[in-house]
Amino acid sequence: MYYRVSSAALNGLEAAIVNVEADVSDGMPMMELIGYLGSEVKEARERVRTAMKNSGFSLPPRRITVNISPAGIRKQGTAFDLSIAIALLGCLGCIADNAAQEMLIIGELGLDGKICPVQGVLPRVLKGMEMGYRLCLVPIENLKEASMAGNIKCIGISSLSQVYRYLNNEEILEPVASVPLKACKSSQAYPDFSDVKGQKGMKRCLEISAAGGHNLLMIGTPGAGKTMAAKRLPGIMPPLKEDEILELTKIYSVAGSLPPEGVVVNRPFLAPHHTCTPQAMSGGGVNPKPGLVSLAHKGVLFLDELPEFRSETLETLRLPMEEKIINISRCGMNYTYPANFLLVAAMNPCKCGYYPDTSRCRCNENDVKKYTGRISGPLLDRMDMMISAEEIGFEELNSEERSESSERILQRVLQAKERMNYRFIGNAVKTNAEMGNNEIIKYCILGRKEKLLMKEAFTKLRLSSRSYHKILKVSRTIADIAGYEEIKEEHLIEALAYRRSEFF
C-alpha cells in the first residue's frame, strides 16, 4: 500500500516542493521516517502516531516507511506532521486515491489531533502557487498569512478528523478569498511627531532621512528625546508597496514573528539592546533565521547608545549596508536574506553625556576622544548625516504649541519620493542615498554660484572627498523636499550643517 501527498520545505526565504510518501508493508512492526530529516521532523513519528490514535485511526502493527523526497535537501521544522498523517491515512485506505492530490498540505499535529500553526507558511504557499497547485491546507491560525499569496485557494483547518471528513466530502470547507494587500490594515498606528516638542534639527534630519534613505547619527545629552523621535520615523516614510508587504511578511513568517493580524503592514522599527550579539544581528542558528538586519528590511534599524555595542556586532552591519542583502553560511548551506534598512543611531557626546557643556561635563578631552573612538571608522563613514540634540528648556516643554504632525511631514516626503521615482526610472538606484558617482555627476549638477560656495566650504571646513559626495546627495534630497529640480545654495548650506564633522 503506497500513498503520496505534497508539502513544502523551507530553505531560507525560499521553499521547495517535497513529496511525502508512505508505505505499509509486511514485516516487523515499526515506523521509520527517512529523507535527510532534522530532529524536529524525526520526532513527527510519535506526534503522528498518537494524534492518529486519538482521532480514531489506529496504525496497524506492520512495517511503515515514510520518505520525504527529494531526499537530498534538508528538511526542518514541524510543518510535515499533517502531510505524513494524511499519507498514512491514504495507505490505510481511509481516503480515496485521488482525494489529496494537487494540494499542498502544511501543519503541525498536537497529540490530541489538533492542528497547530507553523512558521514560514507564506513562502511555501507562494511556491505551491508557482508550481501550479490548486489548493493549500494550512492551519487555521496561518490562514490569513497564506491567503495573501493570491491565486491559490487556501483552506484553514483545525483538526485531523476535520481534514479526514473534508477529504471524504463529509464536510464542506470553503476556501477564503484572498485579501487584497491594499486593504490590509495594521492594528497599530505609528506614534505621531506632534508629540515631540522642540528638537527642530533632529526632526528635520529625520524627515530628510525618510525621504532620501540617508543613514543618520544623532548625538545628544541623555533625555534629549532621541529615541522618542526615532520611533516616529517609520510614520513619515512612504507606506509599504504590495510587493514590499509580501516580502516583509515572508521574512517575518520565516522568523516566526508575524504580528497578530498575520501581515506586516507597518514599516518595521527595530531597536535592539546594545548587548545584542553578532549572530542576532546578522541571523544565525544551525538553520539560520533572519536576523535583525533582515527584520528591519524596508524599515528602520535604530541603535541607541551606539558606542556601547560590541564592535563585532557593528561590523556585521557593514556588508548588508553596502549590498542590501545578507549572506549567511552555515552547515554547508548558504542563506540569503534581504537587508535593506535605514540605519539611525544615537549616542551621547561623551561618557557622562554633557560635553561640550563645561559646567556639567566631567570628562577631559581624552575621555571624550576615547568614547567616540569606540565606533569604527568604516561604520561612521556609512553615516550620511549627523545632528546634535539636547534637552529642551522648560518653556518649550510646557508650550501649548503643537509641533508639526507626521501627516504633514509625510506629504513632503512623498513629494520628494515622487521626484526620486521619476528620476530613477529604469535605474537600479531607487533613493538619493544609493546614488553612486555616475548618478551624482548626472543628477547633482551645481550652478556657478553653488560651485563657488562649495569650493569655499571645502577648504574652510576641511571637507574630504567622501564627505563632499555625501553632502551633495543630502542636498539633492533637501532640494527634492523643497520641490526644486536644481540644487540651490540654501540646500547645500543646510546639507553642510548636517554633515559628519571632524569631531568624529
Cα–Cα distance measured from residue 407 to residue 418, given in angstroms and rounded to the nearest whole number: 16
Cβ atoms of residues 31 and 59 within 8 Å: yes
Quick check: 431 binds other proteins (CB under 8 A)? no
**Which cell goes with 478?**
533637501
Quick check: 355 binds other proteins (CB under 8 A)? yes
Pick from 32, 130, 242, 396 the residue near other proteins by CB under 8 A: 396
Cα–Cα distance measured from residue 15 to residue 392, given in angstroms and rounded to the nearest whole number: 51
Peptide bond into 356 cis (omega under 30): yes
Q: How far is the CB of 503 from other proteins (least distance, A)?
A: 6
Quick check: 415 binds other proteins (CB under 8 A)? no
Angle at 293 (CA atoms; ends 287, 299), nearest 5 degrees: 130
Quick check: 380 binds other proteins (CB under 8 A)? no
Q: Which residues contact 132 (CB under 8 A, 6 or more apart)?
A: none
Among 69-77, 140-148, 269-277, 351-359, the segment contacting other proteins (CB under 8 A): 351-359
Quick check: 398 binds other proteins (CB under 8 A)? no
Q: How far is the CB of 222 from other proteins (least distance, A)?
A: 15
Among 37-45, 257-265, 329-337, 491-499, the segment contacting other proteins (CB under 8 A): 491-499
Among 9-17, 124-132, 309-317, 493-501, the segment contacting other proteins (CB under 8 A): 493-501
Peptide bond into 175 cis (omega under 30): no
Which CB atom, from 184 or from 496, has the smaller least distance to other proteins? 496
Which is nearest to 52 in space by CA: 118, 101, 4, 109?
109
> Length of the chain, please?
504
Pick from 21, 145, 304, 390 the residue near other proteins by CB under 8 A: 390
Task: Please report, as residue ranges, which positions from 30 to 69 form the binding site for other proteins (by CB under 8 A).
Answer: none
Q: How far is the CB of 407 from other proteins (least distance, A)?
A: 20
Quick check: 373 binds other proteins (CB under 8 A)? no
Pick from 388, 405, 430, 468 the residue near other proteins by CB under 8 A: 388
Cα–Cα distance measured from residue 206 to residue 234, given in angstroms and rounded to the nearest whole number: 10
Residue by residue, what is the 3-state secondary structure of 72-105?
A: CCCECCCCCHHHHHHHHHHHCCCCCCCCCCCEEE
Pick from 201, 259, 278, 284 the residue near other proteins by CB under 8 A: 201
Among 27-35, 45-53, 155-163, 352-360, the segment contacting other proteins (CB under 8 A): 352-360
Q: Where are the alpha helices (DSSP H) in 327-464?
A: 365-372, 377-381, 394-398, 406-423, 437-443, 448-460
DSSP string, 189-247: PPPPGGG--S-HHHHHHHHHHHHH---EEEEE-TTSSHHHHHHTSGGGSPPPPHHHHHH
Which CB atom, from 389 or from 410, has the smaller least distance to other proteins? 389
Among 107-115, 161-169, 196-204, 374-382, the segment contacting other proteins (CB under 8 A): 196-204
Quick check: 306 binds other proteins (CB under 8 A)? no
Binding region for other proteins (CB under 8 A) = 198-202, 204, 219, 349, 355-359, 364-365, 386-390, 392-393, 396, 456-457, 460-461, 490, 493-494, 496-497, 501, 503-504
